[in-house]
Amino acid sequence: MSRKIIIDTDPGQDDAVAILMALASPEELDVLGVVAVAGNVGVAQNAINARKVVELSGRTDIPVYAGCSRPMRRNLVTAEHVHGETGLNGPDLPEPTIPLQDQHGVDYIIEALMNAEPKTITLCTLGPLTNIAMALVKQPAIADRIQEIVMMGGAYFEVGNITPAAEFNIYVDPEAADVVMRCGAPITIQPLDVTHMIQSTPARLEAIKALGNKSGAAVHAMLTFSETFDLEKYGWEGAPLHDPTVIAYLLQPELFQGRHCNVTIETASELTMGMTVCDYWHVSGRAYNATWLRTGNADGFYKLLTERLARLP
């Protein structure tokens, strides 16, 4: 049986690649819905981007919802400097024709979890955790019904990418991340520690472009646009590819290695706001609450990604 997932996202070029990867894998992943959240850009534009990507995949049966338009307690921080003014600069994708669902994304998440058999839905989070935290606050009973939360977020050994200490998704809404990390559901984290290993080198991008389909061309255009910022920032051969590691973990968990430990979110310090304090060496005595992934097999990841993208229109 395929694993039922809900994708919570702020697309974002790397989010878009993750969505495409999931929708190209129906034998393993049953995508129940896609929920937009404010993050890389505002939630209204992210909802448009999500619908564009769903249409690109040919999976127009997938419902798309809009969730929260701002963090729980803070002003929204966005990342147009990386993703462009639309959040999805690069390819020229047509305006979406599939409708945005009327139901609020938070209510959809609650309803889906409450109506399903317990422990049968995985939440795949690719952006700030506002929607998930708000769902947990509004209906705490969902925590025991979540099969797993697999998130892209945080950093420890690789430190931050939006501040010296914090990764973007967590920094945008650290209070939401704190709620999620305390909820008691099984959590697996793909931090920058992993995603900085998963670099879109020119050869890997050319292999995607060479697929010859619309999706491959769009992904090549997306990543060629978004990598400019990171190539200048890091000076590496290729830019890191973040969010698709969440989907790759569900498809081939053996590509990644890590350990179960305690992860706590800093919500008080101006200097380290949004830092994911990972007790990887088990020195704090705090209860374990997450699996922190630390390494990833980049060659295996790109082989999987390219094979899945080849299935799409």
Which of the residues are catalytic?
A: 242
Distance, CA of 62 to CA of 71 (rounded, Å): 26
Residues 158, 192: contact at Cβ < 8 Å? Answer: yes
Read off the amino acid at residue 122.
Answer: T
What is the token pair recorded at 32? 């129940």
- Which whole-number Å values give the CA distances from 254 to 117, 257, 262, 293, in the listed order? 27, 7, 22, 11
Are β-strands 146-152 and 187-190 bridged in parallel, bridged antiparallel, or unpaired?
parallel
Residues 148, 108: contact at Cβ < 8 Å? Answer: no
Are β-strands 64-66 and 29-36 bridged in parallel, bridged antiparallel, or unpaired?
parallel
Read off the amino acid at residue 158.
Answer: E
Residues 146, 185: contact at Cβ < 8 Å? Answer: yes
- Which whole-number Å values give the CA distances from 191 to 114, 172, 206, 278, in the listed order? 29, 15, 26, 10
CB atoms closer than 10 angstroms to residue 19? 30
Cα dihedral 187, 245, 168, 72 sign: negative
Nearest to 45 by CA among 93, 103, 107: 93
